Amino acid sequence: DAGVIQSPRHEVTEMGQEVTLRCKPISGHDYLFWYRQTMMRGLELLIYFNNNVPIDDSGMPEDRFSAKMPNASFSTLKIQPSEPRDSAVYFCASSLHSSNQPQHFGDGTRLSIL
């Protein structure tokens, strides 16, 4: 299995620009999660989907953040407009519906907003 695939791996952009992060979950997984990791705040859940439907977006920091999952094999996390404090590593993870299965993480996108 290819695992969770994220793109891009690295993104450097200027403040105010739109940023789109992409994720392809493991085939057959019905849960998809977006996390943000920083030194100060650790690993934070932003939003998660079940069967392509957003279930909990209470972790999304502001209206500048939005996430979509148009089908079972693709999700995006968009930041518009971006700010320097959005700089972090963003992870996508997926899992099977069964509660005894762990979440499988992608390699992450390292985002730097200048």
Partner 1 sequence: ELKVEQNPLFLSMQEGKNYTIYCNYSTTSDRLYWYRQDPGKSLESLFVLLSNGAVKQEGRLMASLDTKARLSTLHITAAVHDLSATYFCAVALYGGSQGNLIFGKGTKLSVKP
Residue with tokens 């439907």: 53
Tokens standing for 46?
Answer: 């932003």
Closer to partner 1 by CB, 9 or 80: give it: 9
Q: Which of 38, 50, 51, 112 binds partner 1 (CB under 8 A)?
A: 50
Contact between 56 and 47 (Cβ < 8 Å): yes
Answer yes or no whether residue 112 interacts with partner 1 by CB under 8 A. Answer: no
Closer to partner 1 by CB, 82 or 94: give it: 94
Largest CA distance in the chain: 42
Amino acid at 2: A
* Least distance between partner 1 and beta carbon 16 (Å): 28
Rounded distance between C-alpha atoms, residue 3 and residue 20, angstroms: 20
Mask of contacts with partner 1, 51-90, x by CB under 8 A? Answer: ----xx----------------------------------
The DSSP bridge pattern shows strands 10-13 and 109-113 to be: parallel
Of the listed pieces 18-26, 67-75, 78-86, 103-111, which binds partner 1 according to CB under 8 A? 103-111
